[in-house]
A and B are shown apart, each in its own frame.
Chain A
């Protein structure tokens, strides 16, 4: 992401904020409306859908992803922020009687026909035309059968029972195992990792990629892309027992508590033996350049 357009975007929004707030300084009501409008611009952009007309979040997201079009704020986040901005405006306005009066009086004046907010000549069309029509449109919209695809609230690391005492026996080999192998621990782990790389290349890399970054040739065919193991929020934040069970069970084997399921990961139990999975885990963490999480010991 280049810095110059980013700074321009932020500065542009700051200038816009300053100008709008200055224009709205004459009353509390206008200031409140200006803040709401600026909030919407912040979230939606000025001309949603147009590359240059899109300020702040959609625009910065566009720049950061290298996309050609602004990236809209997802619906869930959008409404969360809109509710927050509206709540904030109402709280500040009602924090003192004086500002509350300044906010409400023009609205009452509008209803009573005392003027102030808008000229009397557009009062009638506004009160009896625009507002009822707007309400009707909203009601109509609410009653339309939903056409938007549903939101999916996924679990990042689905609940899945596993053996807490699990330690990869190939990462921490016992004396017996080393005796059988007949070499030092380092060579043993290296040899196992090497075998793991082969297994990984054969079974995992089509989706998770040769660099364990989730960009294998099959990745684009999946609706939810495969995990990028180099991201510190994935396997690095999980203990190895979890990763082991997740490979064994895949997406299909997740228990009900792990719903909603949203994982194309196949179930490897039956196709790969325990020790094969252990080798793959060695290779996977090694490729991604991360280490499994070790639970902290607190005294």
Chain B
């Protein structure tokens, strides 16, 4: 089974702390997953939460471009099993700033680890042509998210959203092909870029390793009644386990429960 693009929605906001998209239709395909890509106009958004159709997203490890001092920051949040039908996507954070939010849903996706291969880059001085290589295997679907000060060209992968005001925010997807490069051609400027990989069921990145494993965890640990994120339905099935991370799970349990 290969990951198949389903739907996309996008919104932009200026001087805001929360954005909620227009209604969009999530398909009824099996093994659905979703991602929320954020392009910020400042370095320091904190306490970020996202959801699609009420299902909360979790930051894909490695996908945060971090504070590079460039007033561009990108990140990708992933979730499984967004409800089908008419839905909206939301992101909230502290400190009002500009943001472009793009949300993508897919079907045919792994239901335990919806995305892996998180990568990100950012520049602290002007640089041309933002590009990022996202690891994947055949059957996966990669996602790239860009925030830039200059007008980027069409991407090397399939463009899913494109918006501009104080920042230029873009999103693109590419069929898994080992290593998808998400690249935009642009004049030299400041930018940040994030990427992550929608996993086909049980797909493993070449070499496995941390990029493949960091996002696996036992959901009940993170979605306990004491969690600040626990007001929304867990995006992971209750029986989702990854024994490869048992040590980490136990550590987390001892701290959180």
Does B associate with A? no
